[in-house]
């Protein structure tokens, strides 16, 4: 399922760590294949991607969102 989510990027410290997008509604998405430009805690971004129901992760912090494109809105 393709979606667009606006929110804040966070680094979660599970295992080796994982990158997440916390939406403005409070939903947490684990980012799959996040580009280096998106891997900055505190970054506000609009991310377009595919929710991957066929992928499991060690962190299991929320739905896995495979990043297709993004737009940086604000950097802290």
What tens digit of pLDDT does each residue of 21-71 get? Answer: 999 999 999 999 899 999 999 999 999 999 999 998 888 899 999 999 999
Residue carrying structure tokens 């939406």? 23
CA angle 35, 38, 41 (to 5 degrees): 140
First to last CA, the chain: 30
Say what the pLDDT of residue 1 is.
80
CATH number listed for the domain at residues 2-74: 2.40.50.500
Say what the pLDDT of residue 76 is.
55
Confidence grade of residue 20 (pLDDT, cut at 50, 70, 90):
very high
Rounded alpha-carbon distances, angstroms, from residue 44 to 6, 17, 24, 35, 55: 7, 19, 10, 14, 25
Considering the entire predicted model, what is its pTM? Answer: 0.89
Q: Where are the domains of the chain?
A: 2-74
Distance in angstroms (rounded) separating the CA atoms of residues 53 and 72: 26
């Amino acid at each position: 399922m393709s979606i667009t989510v606006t929110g804040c990027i966070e680094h979660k410290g599970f295992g080796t760590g994982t990158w997440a997008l916390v939406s403005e509604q409070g939903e947490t998405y684990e980012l799959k294949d996040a580009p280096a430009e998106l891997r900055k805690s505190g970054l506000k971004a609009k991310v377009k991607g595919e929710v991957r129901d066929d992928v499991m992760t060690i962190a299991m912090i929320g739905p896995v969102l495979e990043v297709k494109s993004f737009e940086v809105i604000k950097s802290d």
